[in-house]
Amino acid sequence: MNLTVVGLGLIGGSLAKDLRSKCIAKHIIGTDKNIDHCKKAQELGIIDSYLPLEEAVKDADLVIVSVPVNATLKVLPQVLDAISDKTVVMDVGSTKSEICKAVENHSKRSNYVANHPIAGTENSGPTAAIDGLFDKKTTIICEEEKSDPKAVLLIKVIHEAIGMHVIHMGAEEHDRHIAYVSHLSHVISYVLGKTVLEIEKDETNIFELAGSGFASTARLAKSSPEMWTPIFLQNKKSLLKSVDEYLKNLQDFRELIANNDADSLFTEIGKINDIRRVLEGLELKRAKGH
Amino acid sequence: MNLTVVGLGLIGGSLAKDLRSKCIAKHIIGTDKNIDHCKKAQELGIIDSYLPLEEAVKDADLVIVSVPVNATLKVLPQVLDAISDKTVVMDVGSTKSEICKAVENHSKRSNYVANHPIAGTENSGPTAAIDGLFDKKTTIICEEEKSDPKAVLLIKVIHEAIGMHVIHMGAEEHDRHIAYVSHLSHVISYVLGKTVLEIEKDETNIFELAGSGFASTARLAKSSPEMWTPIFLQNKKSLLKSVDEYLKNLQDFRELIANNDADSLFTEIGKINDIRRVLEGLELKRAKGH
């Protein structure tokens, strides 16, 4: 299969690596508005060659659009304009409603499969691409009824081949759920980073005291503004709902501490520990291949 | 050296393991109000035997008090009452002001070294004890001027022997700093756990979509209420200050999203990315052994 990857960052690069190692992609063309990313991806063997967008996609069997979600709104219609009828196109964006809306009336809408592999790290660019990033993770295909069934089948098969569990969902349902289990985590991690960086100005060397707990909670605060600014804005409605619930819960938790309410605090934390069941159940399920 | 560990949980158990493997502790006695922890710790070879508190500490060279910080307020004076003049006592609590205050007028105050090793996991009990937990981590000795200098030297030496970097600080300064880099992280992680568990009631299978980002940010929400309820309450003043700053920052961040202010959001996240410098600088420094 001839694969073209539009956007040679962490996700596009890692998909190219895995699809090559699984013998799914034979020849890989890359394209990126940043020419340094093209050169670096070629140097790393992630892509075989690079070309301008229209040329890169016109003879592809599969095009993966892996650019920030604001850029996807512009690039995805361009890709659909430029491809042949036989080409299948997928994206990897962390939002789905606005992206699906941007191409809903496109004449090649059925060539496109709306897709979101839930995998990543806090790093970006082609050097951040890693082997096996998607193994035992989940990908979500949205609005499958608007895509050609054979295109959906292809997208399903290649994700399963790289170790993923494929689920299906409406675009709005996707955005509502992902607001809670991904976007909210990023917001609270960014705000933790900000709060501690601010106090660092007055309290020198405060980070000397940071342990693995802080590192874990603040890890997502390293994520790039190029990727996350447009995600937050495209998923504004659901994200604000989750942030407002979070703010209310944090206020309540604060009051338990302020009131020295040890019993309620103990009970509350005990209930929250249920998150262990959820996270470990999930790990177990994934380890068993679902 | 004869070591007695009061409280056979993650920290006490892991210290016993490392001090034995570094040939610092030859004979280790354990004591714990939970008899099952005593039996399990002996079965795991963490301790050689177990005894009631007074008997366990009376002939020890070193006593490590590793119980939740509310229990420390009660147990630490009991230990100081029961020991001989030659015995050195240290604790491992995540708060220092109230613990130091609880023994400030004790006749054996100078035998005690106030200490906080910044290491841990979200697990608890003797089965959670692991080898090498403290390697390349920091421990903080507080109010060293109130301890016998030879006791301080001993505590410094044994922590360095297990790979730790030792720093010194006032008890109040410790609590102020730790509120930001540890206790606040726990609060925001608990509240994330709560918010997503609540939404799970309406949105079944939402955790199917949880990725490594959520797992990282919610990891601390698995931590036990026995340990964390008293920490939050003992460090209430500093913790509430940090929570209030966090709340304000989260409100501000929310408004940037609500106002579609892409430019400010981008700039803000870019500044927060500075946390990468901090966390990676810290890792590098620790890898080099400071």
For B227-266, the pLDDT digits (tens) are: 999 999 999 999 999 999 999 999 999 999 999 999 999 9
Residue B282's pLDDT is: 76
Same structural domain, A52 and A185:
no
H/E element holding A285? helix A275-287
Question: What is the pLDDT at residue A56?
Answer: 98
pLDDT at B288 over 80: no
What is the value of ipTM here, to two decimals? 0.94
A277 compared with B16, residue with greater pLDDT: B16
Lowest mean pLDDT among A155-159, B3-7, B205-209: B205-209
Q: Which of A169, A203, A236 is the last residue before a domain boundary? A: A169
Q: What is the mean pLDDT of residues B137-151?
A: 97
Nearest to B138 among A138, A188, A209 (CB): A209
The answer to whether residue B184 scores a pLDDT higher than 60 is: yes
Q: Which of A176, A195, A262 sits opposite B229 (nearest CB)?
A: A262
Instruction: Let me know: does B173 contact B143? Beta carbons within 8 Å.
Output: no
For residue A162, the model assigns a pLDDT of 97
Claim to verify: residue A8 and residue A23 sit in the same structural domain: yes
Which domain CATH number covers A9? 3.40.50.720
Q: How many domains does chain A have?
A: 2
Work out how many CB contacts closer than 8 A connect A with B: 312
CATH number at B190 reads 1.10.3660.10
B290: pLDDT strictly greater than 70? no
Identify the domain boundary among B170, B193, B222.
B170
Residue of B nearest to A169 (CA): B209
Name the domain boundary from A169, A199, A226. Answer: A169
Domain region containing B190: 174-287
Interface subset of A 200-239, CB within 8 angstroms of B: 200, 203, 206-226, 228-230, 232-233, 236, 239
Residues 237-256 (B) with a CB less than 8 A from some CB of A:
239-240, 242-247, 249-251, 253-254
- Predicted local distance difference test score (pLDDT) of residue A263: 98
Q: What is the mean pLDDT of residues A160-183?
A: 96
> If pLDDT is split at 50, 70 and 90, which confidence band does B289 have?
low
Lowest pLDDT segment from A9-18, A92-101, A268-277, B200-209: B200-209
Q: Which residues of chain A neighbour B264 with C-beta distances below 8 Å?
A: none
Query: Are A121 and A128 a contacting pair, CB within 8 Å?
Result: yes
Contacts of B143 (CB under 8 A, 6+ apart): B96, B100, B114, B170, B171
Q: How far apart are CA A156 and CA A34, in angstroms?
A: 30
pLDDT at B32: 98
Q: Are residues A154 and A187 in the same domain?
A: no
Based on the domain organization, do A19 and A160 belong to the same domain?
yes
Query: In terms of domains, do B83 and B155 share one?
Result: yes
Q: Kindly tell me if the per-residue pLDDT of A208 is higher than 90.
A: no
DSSP state of B68: -
Asked if A215 and A256 sit in the same domain, the reply is yes
Which residues 153-182 of A have a C-beta within 8 angstroms of B?
167, 176-178, 180-182
Query: What are the pLDDT digits (tens) for A276-289?
Result: 988 887 777 777 76
Residues in chain B, overall count: 290
Residues B195 and B280 in one domain: yes
Q: What is the pLDDT of residues B20-58, one digit of tens each?
A: 999 999 999 999 999 999 999 999 999 999 999 999 999
